[in-house]
Structure 1
């Protein structure tokens, strides 16, 4: 599935209709999707087929996963720092009684 929720097969069929000669506006109106969406799909299809410069769909997916991993790794020290702060503030129970878990 694509990023916006349209199945890949649907995208392919839309692009096939446009490539067969149907106008983008007519296809968009008939299928109730925006013309901008079709133009974006067509632009990405041209990139994926090496007809235009840019990041392929696979490269975009890989880059998004890498960025997500980087964000998680950058957040990790803050999480550990906060845990250390919280553990440093542990108060021992009064009168020697044990804490219940």
Structure 2
């Protein structure tokens, strides 16, 4: 079972508390969240603000997500064949 997602306000507050130089351990204990969660939020925030480059694995993951999205647009279930030709895109005919 996955943990319940935290509200965005909690994430923002946690990241704001890290800014003045507090440790991840102290902020996590103060807010009652896991240190690993706070490390992840911090890493994602740095990526979002362009202050950190994605790792090769993160870049590959993003490229795969984009490829999957393009593939979904060309999903064969959206097309149908009749005889030896393509009739069209489902929903457009």
How far residue 67 of structure 1 moved from its aligned partner, in angstroms, is 7.5
Q: Secondary structure at the match of 2:11?
A: helix
Q: Deviations over 1:9-64 (max 9, x none)?
A: 21011000011222211111121111111111111100000111129xxxx89x75
TM-score, normalization by structure 1? 0.50
Q: Secondary structure at the match of 2:21?
A: coil
Q: Which residue of 2 aligns with 1:45?
A: 45
Higher strand share: 2
RMSD of the TM alignment (CA)? 3.4
Q: Structure 2, unaligned stretches of length 5 or more?
A: 56-60, 77-93
Q: Structure 1, unaligned stretches of length 5 or more?
A: 78-101
- Deviating above 2 A after TM superposition, structure 1's stretches of 4 or more consecutive aligned residues are 66-73
TM-score, normalization by structure 2? 0.53
Q: Over alpha carbons, which structure has the higher Rg? A: 1
Higher helix share: 1
